[in-house]
Amino acid sequence: MKKTTIALTLSLMVSGPAFSAAFVNGGFEDGNTNSWSVGTATRNGNLSTLDPSTYLNGATGRSAIVTSGLDPIIGASMANTVYSGNYAYRVENTIDGGHLSVVSQTVTNYTESNIFFAWMSVLEGAHSAEQAAGMKIQLTDLTTGIDIISRIYSAEFSAVDGRFSQAGSYYYTPVWQIEQLAIDSSLQGHDFRLTVLATDCDPTAHLGYVYLDGFGAQIPDVDNGVPEPATLALLGLGVLGMGVARRRKAA
Q: Dump the DSSP string for 117-166.
A: EEEEEEEE--S-TTTS-EEEEEEEETTTTEEEEEEEEETT-SS--TT-EE
Domain ranges of the chain: 18-216
Among residues 168, 197, 172, the alpha carbon closest in space to that of 70 is found at 172
Among residues 106, 132, 250, 116, the alpha carbon closest in space to that of 191 is found at 106
What is residue 225's predicted lDDT score, i.e. its pLDDT?
38
| pTM to 2 decimal places | 0.81
Q: What single-letter DSSP state applies at residue 55? A: G
Q: How far is CA 41 from CA 112, 161, 200, 240, in A?
A: 35, 27, 11, 25
H helix or E strand, kind and range, residue 88: strand 88-91
Q: Split the chain (251 residues) into runs of 10 and give each run's mean pLDDT.
A: 31 42 77 94 90 92 95 96 94 93 95 93 87 94 96 76 88 94 94 96 90 88 44 33 36 32
Q: How far is CA 116 from CA 61, 73, 207, in A?
A: 27, 27, 27
What is residue 25's predicted lDDT score, i.e. its pLDDT?
82
Q: What is the CATH number of domain 18-216?
A: 2.60.120.260
